Amino acid sequence: MFLIDLIMDIIAFFCIYAIITLSLNFQQGYTGIFNLGLYFPIIVGAIITAYLPGRLAMVIYGLDPKLDFSANNALVLSILRSKLSSDPVTSIALLTLTLAAVAIVCYIIGFLSSYPALKLPADYLALFMLCAGESLRVIGMQTDWLAGGVMGITIVNPFWWLGGYSYYGMASFTIISTILIALLYHRLCESPLGRLLKSIRENELTAESVGKDVNGVKRKTLAFSFTILGLAGVLHAFLMGAVVVGGYTRVDFSFWPWLMMIIGGTGNNIGVFLGTFSLVIMRRIMIVGKHYFWFLPFNVVWFEPILLAIMLMVTLVFRPEGILPERSPKIRDYLRKVLKLES
């Protein structure tokens, strides 16, 4: 049983990170949008997941309006749990609504933030997104009614009706969502859109001079990736069963994904998948292994950023193009596979 739990846990976390790194690759590897603030939309997703479904359920089940989801978190949740355990329809409706709300909000935020961001040179755009993410994290930590502030908040599980298998329910949903999102990215990247994005990455002025609205496309790319990243935030929050905004750090939710992408191979979705897989396994093993270091006079978690740094450094120096470097399709393969032409 323990083994199954561990495997399920690894797969679920791999899925979350796969969604994040694929979105990163879509921005950086394809379009050349240098975004260091991946955790910005993820936090948006997590905050909405902390705020919305619980309160909606309270309204639906007509709970005492004097109760507050955040202030009376434990009490409210125990009531909601008993109600939702026998109500799969409402549970799934809550999940769907949350996903939809996050998708819409993140799309809008991505679109709006592109207005200041695209006025900056690429390197400062990266800083802009990083600072935006950090600001949102500060807001989340300071605002108790939003997502429980520093202490965090426990949230509903849309699969309580599965009884003892509710974690498996959420994990399976995460896995299915990841497969769908991966297929979506694959489709986008191998279509003419993928080629257009790469041309923008390679040379914006040339892309403009063959009639492409570079800023328009970048704006849509940013908004689209924000949407998907927001969904990753939702899945992560539901999977954890709680939201602690302070835990969404730039190290865990921006720099690790960056390392995963670079190690895997920037611009190559399969490589990025591989990079994500190996690093997620490594990190999970480390979490188990850290109990053996209880004797040190400091917390071992601080080895993780150092390890990340060393791996990043080694990759930058020895294999900057990653395990599976980017590949361009041969025209014959392209005609045969994508256009179904023989010539």
Partner 1 sequence: MVSQTLSAGQNLELEKRPLLTVKNVSKRFGSFYALQNISLTVPEKTIALLIGPNGSGKTTLINCISGVYWPDEGQILFDGKDITEMHVHDIVKLGLVRSFQVPAPFKKMTVAENLLVCGQDNPGENFVSSLNRSRWRASEKESVDKMFKVLKTVGLEDKVDTLAGELSGGQLKLLELGRLLMLNPKMMLLDEPIGGVNPVLANSILSHIINIRNEFGTSFLIVEHRLDIVMKYVDYVYVLSKGNLIASGTPSEIVERRELYDVYLA
Partner 2 sequence: MVPSPILLTALVYSFILSLLAMGFTLQYITLSVPNLAYATIAFASTYLTLTFSLMNLSPYVAMPFGFLLGGAISFMLYKFVAFLRNRGTSIVGLMMATIVFDLIIYASMNIYADYLAYVFKLYAGSFSLSEFDFEIFSFPAVLFISGLTSVGLVAFFTLMLVKTKFGVAMRAVMENFNLASVHGINTERILSIAWFFVGGTAGLSGSLYPIWFAMDPWVGARMFISIFAACVIGGLRSIYGSLLGGFIIAFSEVVVTYFLSLYFPWIWAYRAVTSMVIAAFALVEMPSGIAGLIEKLRRG
Q: Which amino acid, 33? A: I
b/e map of 62-95 (b: 16 or more CB within 10 Å)?
Answer: ebeeeeebbeebeebbebbeebbbebeebbebbb
The nearest distance, CB 262 to partner 2, in angstroms, is 7
The nearest distance, CB 34 to partner 1, in angstroms, is 16
- Cα separation, 233 vs 239, in Å, equals 10
Closest CA relative to residue 21, chosen from 251, 228, 239: 228
Which of these segments, 39-47, 98-106, 280-288, 324-332, binds partner 1 (CB under 8 A)? 324-332
Task: List the single partner that 175 binds among partner 2, partner 1, none, CB under 5 to 8 Å by kind.
Answer: none
Task: Give the residue, chosen from 198, 219, 236, 250, that forms a contact with partner 2 under the rule CB under 8 A.
Answer: 250
Instruction: Show the binding pattern over residues 195-224: x = contacts partner 1 (CB under 8 A), - = does not.
Output: xx-xx--xx-xxxxxxxxxx-----x---x
Task: Give 282 or 309: the residue with its C-beta nearer to partner 2.
Answer: 309
Q: Is 307 in the site for partner 1 (CB under 8 A)?
A: no
Measured CA angle at 55 (ends 54, 57), to 5 deg: 65
Which of these segments, 79-87, 96-104, 123-131, 324-332, binds partner 2 (CB under 8 A)? 123-131
Which of these segments, 54-62, 159-167, 177-185, 297-305, binds partner 2 (CB under 8 A)? 297-305
- Token pair recorded at residue 173: 């949903």
Using CB atoms within 10 Å of the CB of residue 318, give its burial: 0 to 12 exposed, 13 to 18 middle, 19+ buried.
Answer: exposed
Q: Name residues contacting partner 2, limited to 185-214 (CB under 8 A).
A: none
Q: Is 64 in the site for partner 1 (CB under 8 A)?
A: no
Q: Is 262 in the site for partner 1 (CB under 8 A)?
A: no
Task: Give 124 or 165: the residue with its C-beta nearer to partner 2.
Answer: 124
Do the beta carbons of residue 43 and residue 245 sit within 8 Å? yes
Q: How far apart are the first and last CA of the chain?
A: 55
Closest CA relative to residue 309, chosen from 246, 250, 265, 251: 251
Which of these segments, 13-21, 272-280, 312-320, 331-339, binds partner 1 (CB under 8 A)? 331-339
Task: Give 217 or 323: the residue with its C-beta nearer to partner 1.
Answer: 217
Sign of the torsion formed by the C-alpha atoms of 287, 293, 299 and 304: negative
Kind and range of the H or E run holding 42:
helix 39-60
Point out which residues bind partner 1 (CB under 8 A): 184, 187-188, 191-193, 195-196, 198-199, 202-203, 205-214, 220, 224, 267, 326, 328-331, 334-335, 338-341
